[in-house]
Structure 1
């Protein structure tokens, strides 16, 4: 057997172990890929790509595994688009929450300003009433003093 035949046999054996869910060198939870099969076969990076029919077999096994689990294998661009749409949805959700909180903050600030204005007006009115009260007390005192008559 030549070296390329040995390599192909090692790759095939590794693919079989992974498809059965009993890998030796990689975690069983790892996604199936040519690189995962290469690591399971203890081969170098890219050595599986010398065998295009093997790469197609890996893709076919990956599709079969996904079909067995009820999943649909999607091309990478669709996965990226789905992730992008999910990120856009999350960003829009945060933006809406931010705008709602910002509007609520503006309402609180307006209410605070309104209350502060009322407080200033009330304090000014209290000062006016206290001044008027002191003037009235002085007048009452003057009136009471004018009613006093000397005793003879």
Structure 2
């Protein structure tokens, strides 16, 4: 998709890996359940909802230039999201979020967003280098911003 986006979604785009047990869990429990992997992250989740409302959201994030990243970008494109402005670095892996749920309650979660953090302001480059905007012609459309970005990037 190369059309000009209606809105920019800035933040995490990653794989959600969720383990779900049908019953309540306690510390140390080893129970049967289901493990799924699906596209996720705050910016991606917002973009998916906006796409369902027939908008064309563009993602500004960091996605590894690895097999997992290729698969994630392909899944995002298949959902109709604009991925042309993603920061892709061969030295960075694709980020992941892992949670364990028991009876619908999150028991523990880890967000491995090292690539997004390492990319830093690099994810914003399209807004200043002319692809989505520049100092002379800034982006004037709406932006959805992930509040979990580093304080350095948010400032």
Using CA pairs below 8 Å that are at least 6 residues apart, which structure has the higher relative contact order?
2
TM-score in terms of structure 2 length:
0.21
**Higher helix content, 1 or 2:** 1
**Higher strand content, 1 or 2:** 2
TM-score in terms of structure 1 length:
0.22
